[in-house]
Amino acid sequence: DLDIVNPYFRSTERKAELEAAGIRLLSPSFTNLGVEVPSLPAEIFSAFSDNSDLVIFDVGGDDTGAIALGQYHRFFSKIDRSAIEVLYVVNARRPFSAELESNLDMIEKVTGAGRIEIDALVNNTNLSQETSVQEPLDGYKMLRSISERLNLPVRFTVGVEPVISEFAQYAKEHELDENFIGTIRPIKRYMHRDWDSYTKSGL
């Protein structure tokens, strides 16, 4: 968990559940203590030296967050590039992802700061509990535009049920181009935020 940008949604908060599933979690120091210090423990280097079948780096979604990834460039450069896949996740409902040019600009900044090229795109367009089929549909349109401009494939379209199944049905009925949808994957929300009670009870 290299997300040193967003303090509200971090996998560190579900460390117990991840470990119960056999997943070893490495995260920034002080991540779960409400301290916003970009401190990355030396333990993270072990991700490059152990015999794990799969290692996932979750990085903050802008150029500031990508700097955390860029500092490991010398380690990534020693790995066969075909063994690495860099996915850029787009939520077209976010302010800085709502326009094509802003997405293209951010992708350029992220690849520069992260010092690694993006391999594919992921459509995760949502409005949390307010998500309807319109969100992944608008995401589809945005990712199509990005894909056509940068010649990047769309690897996944993800979302919670029943919205993602409704989108899959819509895509089939309206013959949306599967090249800009990728694999449709339902996901489950484990991070819940009740903003009305947040100030009373914390995260």
Provide the whole-model pTM: 0.86
Identify the CA nearest to 48 among candidates 16, 84, 12. Answer: 84
pLDDT reported for residue 38: 52
User: What is the tens place of the pLDDT at every residue in 104-161?
Assistant: 999 999 999 999 999 999 999 999 989 999 999 999 999 999 999 999 999 999 999 9
pLDDT reported for residue 66: 83
CA 104 from chain centre, in angstroms, equals 16
pLDDT reported for residue 6: 60
183 band by pLDDT with thresholds 50, 70 and 90: very high
Tell me how far apart the alpha carbons of residues 17 and 19 are, in angstroms, rounded to a whole number: 6
37 band by pLDDT with thresholds 50, 70 and 90: very low
Say which residues have a Cβ less than 8 Å from residue 164's Cβ, sequence separation at least 6. Answer: 136, 157, 158, 184, 185, 186, 187
pLDDT reported for residue 196: 47
Domains and CATH numbers, the chain: 1-54 (no CATH), 59-191 (3.20.20.10)
pLDDT reported for residue 198: 46
User: What is the tens place of the pLDDT at every residue in 75-108?
Assistant: 999 999 999 999 999 999 998 899 999 999 999 9
